[in-house]
A and B are shown apart, each in its own frame.
Chain A
Amino acid sequence: NAGVTQTPKFQVLKTGQSMTLQCAQDMNHEYMSWYRQDPGMGLRLIHYSVGAGITDQGEVPNGYNVSRSTTEDFPLRLLSAAPSQTSVYFCASKGNTGELFFGEGSRLTVL
């Protein structure tokens, strides 16, 4: 049972480069979300989706794009990376009991 799978686990970018963090879940969950984790700030919600074709902004959406073409996948795109986007990113999906299931995280460094 894979659960929530994120790739890549580690990535180093230069300022201005673009990249996509991939997230896939095999639990048929409608709700998926992306958080970033920074020291002393907990987790902050970037974007979320309540189902295929529907996305919305969270607390810190600037600099990030998302799309949801299928129930399984919810990629996060950085169009022009900035050092302020250096962080650990977590994808999560929500089960029927309201519990969030998290991926193992993607550590991004922007130089």
Chain B
Amino acid sequence: GNSVTQMEGPVTLSEEAFLTINCTYTATGYPSLFWYVQYPGEGLQLLLKATKADDKGSNKGFEATYRKETTSFHLEKGSVQVSDSAVYFCALRGSSNTGKLIFGQGTTLQVKP
């Protein structure tokens, strides 16, 4: 079945550091890939998405590229801010497009001033 694996957290960085959160997936066909962010005490919000191979999703300085050859969708940001501290979830939706999302376990990011 479909699955998503994220790097273990927590990740602790200093402000302005470079961020990478690894995400790999297992799926049949051509899934859509997503990154969601959860700020403390809130629900999840869509951060970015990519629907086909080699697509790059981007938003708020974050980027992720859909790599079918390595089944990966790593999240990157060139310079993190304290306000980026949150839990980040990688997710996929299978090619049947039923709407069901499968989530990774989440990676907590803490950015220190």
What residues of chain A have their CB less than 8 Å away from a CB belonging to chain B?
A: 4, 31, 33, 35, 40-45, 48, 50, 58, 90, 92, 94, 98-100, 102-105
Assess A42 versus B89: contact at CB under 8 Å? Given A100-B46, A102-B45.
yes
List residues of chain A with CB within 8 A of the CB of B93: 98
Contact check, A102 vs B44: say whether CB atoms are below 8 A apart: yes
The count of chain B contact residues (Cβ–Cβ below 8 Å) is 24
Assess A99 versus B43: contact at CB under 8 Å? Given A42-B89, A42-B106, A48-B99.
no
What are 18 A-B pairs at a CB distance below 8 A?
A4-B43, A35-B103, A40-B105, A41-B105, A42-B4, A42-B89, A43-B44, A45-B101, A45-B102, A48-B99, A94-B99, A98-B32, A98-B51, A98-B97, A102-B43, A103-B43, A105-B42, A105-B43
List B56-113 residues whose CB lies under 8 Å from chain A. 89, 93, 97-106
Q: Is the interface of B mostly helix, strand, loop or mixed?
A: strand
List residues of chain A with CB within 8 A of the CB of B51: 98
What residues of chain B have their CB less than 8 Å away from a CB belonging to chain A?
A: 4, 6, 32, 36, 41-46, 49, 51, 89, 93, 97-106
Known: A42-B104, A50-B99, A104-B42. 17 other contacts (CB 8 A): A4-B43, A40-B105, A42-B6, A42-B89, A43-B101, A44-B103, A50-B98, A90-B44, A92-B44, A98-B32, A98-B93, A99-B49, A100-B99, A100-B101, A102-B44, A105-B42, A105-B43
Contact check, A31 vs B105: say whether CB atoms are below 8 A apart: no
Contact check, A33 vs B99: say whether CB atoms are below 8 A apart: yes
Q: Who on chain B is nearest to A41 by CB? A: B105
Assess A42 versus B105: contact at CB under 8 Å? Given A50-B99, A98-B93.
yes
Give the complex CA separation of A33 and B44 in angstroms. 13
- The contact of B103 among A42, A98, A103, by CB within 8 Å, is A42
